[in-house]
Structure 1
């Protein structure tokens, strides 16, 4: 995950920066920070590049508004990420610049004396460096999860990520419930890293969430729950906003790939089950389904049961798939299913019978088992259905 302009704005010391124009460019990637100063009066163009977070007071253009406008336009031509202006000489922007920058989704900010250039440089540089380290670690983890390493090599690769890892570990993964929501995973991550300096831990951005590896010389199996909840509490992660998946306890780094996969599977199962905190040991059939969810045979099985219901629903404006999901969610209990759907029990019985007919499974004793597996796969692959 790369650092964006939006991420920078959420840094604690930089929150007072005011966006003037170019809101559409807040997702631009920031690669480094640069200062536009007087020495660039006649040669601003080409001095910066894509991904630069440029800051300036525009001292060199304090008496020449045309020079100010031309300098901003040249930065846009250089495809820098954004521009932050200290409002010493320019407290307001001309309508020309506001309209031009907004049209090209180029963010321009104003900030006052409460923010120093040094703060901007330090905070942005630290964020970019941390992100680069996390990206390297993420690549190493991806390599481990490919499954091509033997057990000894897995352990060696884990120690490349953190040489202070101890043998006993638990893996925890946290992902936002609503990916479109304007949350700042980076700042939650920084908060955790700043608060805890335990060398035998590893906490980083992984994919679209936060991955934590908690290791100890000895972890009591009965204390895994406490370890997980301590991490959630200490890191400031709200279970109202995040799904959290926890692996089982592993007593050897040889099983590092198992532990990471387990917490990822636990999160996926938690999303399907609409529960905030999910332990891998508790996900049942999902342990079998999730590792093979993208295989052809899994898709073929799933579609053979779900598509006929979807087609029937579309043709007759029915809701047999919804009934099937509720039936499985309630463990095949007719009464509980009826209550969940606000229907009479006889109606549910009729609809279950109809589902068997649609699927040509009237006399198939494995109907419930197959439907249960198909519904679980459906919920994994169609998370929007569950929200």
Structure 2
């Protein structure tokens, strides 16, 4: 559900200092608990796999040798990490640090925070992340099934009961690691209300896959004169997300609640083309032929056909050490220009023509319209690659 490094980013955990076991910083965390008197009574059975343990080491204040004994017992329960409040100990024995490193159990020290506040803070994050997962599942069901208008509207109301009747949806994914960190940081701020008040826009957000679904809504009595692009760009800047670090797909057609699923799909499709064309922002209305191709990526019959074609080319290339698939991709990239294709593959134009002719023969394309068939096959394959790189999932 959570990783140890996620709670360390919360404001109440900022004073935590990692002193050992840094390789376990991504351990899965299921709960946060306190260890105080259990070692005295040998009551370790209360600890479970994934527990993150807070302790002052009270039980060992007169017997430091008990620290390693306790840590070994906790490790049997596969805990995720330990944080020590420096009340009785400013540091811990080196053998304990060595033990934590060998077993990838991170150990932190802290001084001022109250353990009860830390538990409440972490549990709030756990609950919020669970809510995000529930919403994510609901969104996935909307866009990969055929929901009724009632189901679509009901899901939207669950996400935000106060949302206005008219919606513009955008889907934002990071172009860099810095962008991804900004998205996660934003969600952490939202959980604890550490963000700017935003009175100019009525918006909702949903963490979806590796990105953010952002919904701008307005009442039917209000007519906005601003473009969808300007609205979303200004909104992102208002919540401290710099559009330059993201791919932003926008469904620029205003939708009502009953068509929320269509709005999401169009925003995601526009985002995919942003990634494919290496640009920052695209409106759905501007993605051209991809309006027709994007839905086909998820059609099982169509998927079988174009992936079978790609596999045929890959098998031939592997067997004969040729580059038919690469040549096809570059040929389509250059809109059928043989000279540009040959230049990019460092071959004579006749070599490029031979490879393309061979590919047409292997795939059984119609010689009179092979370019159209190549174009569709390559574009669908490129879109499919995006969906399988954990960007959008299924």
TM-score category, normalised to shorter length: 0.7 to 0.9
- Partners of 1:276 and 1:343 lie apart in 2 by 33
- Partners of 1:313 and 1:179 lie apart in 2 by 34
Residue deviations 1:320-345, cap 9 Å, x none?
21121122122223344345445555
- Partners of 1:304 and 1:104 lie apart in 2 by 45
Give the alignment partner of residue 161 of structure 1, picking from 159, 162, 186: 159
Please name the residue that 1:369 is paired with.
372
- Partners of 1:219 and 1:342 lie apart in 2 by 55
- Partners of 1:366 and 1:175 lie apart in 2 by 36
Number of equivalenced pairs: 382
Please name the residue that 1:145 is paired with.
143
Could you tell me whether the CA contact under 8 Å between 1:25 and 1:105 is conserved in 2?
Answer: yes
Residue deviations 1:261-290, cap 9 Å, x none?
222223333333333333322333333333
Could you tell me whether the CA contact under 8 Å between 1:271 and 1:380 is conserved in 2?
Answer: no
| 3-state DSSP of counterpart to 2:206 | strand
Cα 1:35/1:4, change in 2 over 3 Å: same
Please name the residue that 1:124 is paired with.
122
- Partners of 1:248 and 1:104 lie apart in 2 by 51
RMSD across aligned C-alpha pairs, in angstroms? 3.2
Could you tell me whether the CA contact under 8 Å between 2:174 and 2:246 is conserved in 1?
Answer: yes
Could you tell me whether the CA contact under 8 Å between 2:173 and 2:180 is conserved in 1?
Answer: no
Q: TM-score, normalised by structure 2?
A: 0.83
Following superposition, the deviation at residue 7 of structure 1 comes to 0.8
Could you tell me whether the CA contact under 8 Å between 1:30 and 1:52 is conserved in 2?
Answer: yes
- Partners of 2:339 and 2:117 lie apart in 1 by 62
- Partners of 2:238 and 2:353 lie apart in 1 by 48
- Partners of 1:219 and 1:374 lie apart in 2 by 42
Cα 1:241/1:12, change in 2 over 3 Å: farther
- Partners of 2:224 and 2:340 lie apart in 1 by 38
Could you tell me whether the CA contact under 8 Å between 1:221 and 1:249 is conserved in 2?
Answer: no
Which stretch of the first structure deviates more once superposed, 207-216 or 183-192?
Answer: 183-192
Following superposition, the deviation at residue 370 of structure 1 comes to 1.1
Please name the residue that 1:269 is paired with.
273
Please name the residue that 1:77 is paired with.
76
- Partners of 2:178 and 2:95 lie apart in 1 by 32
- Partners of 1:188 and 1:336 lie apart in 2 by 44
Cα 1:338/1:275, change in 2 over 3 Å: farther
Unaligned runs of 5+ in 1: none
Matches within 5 A, 1:50-61: 50-61=49-60
- Partners of 1:219 and 1:5 lie apart in 2 by 46
Please name the residue that 1:212 is paired with.
214
Q: TM-score, normalised by structure 1?
A: 0.84
Please name the residue that 1:303 is paired with.
307
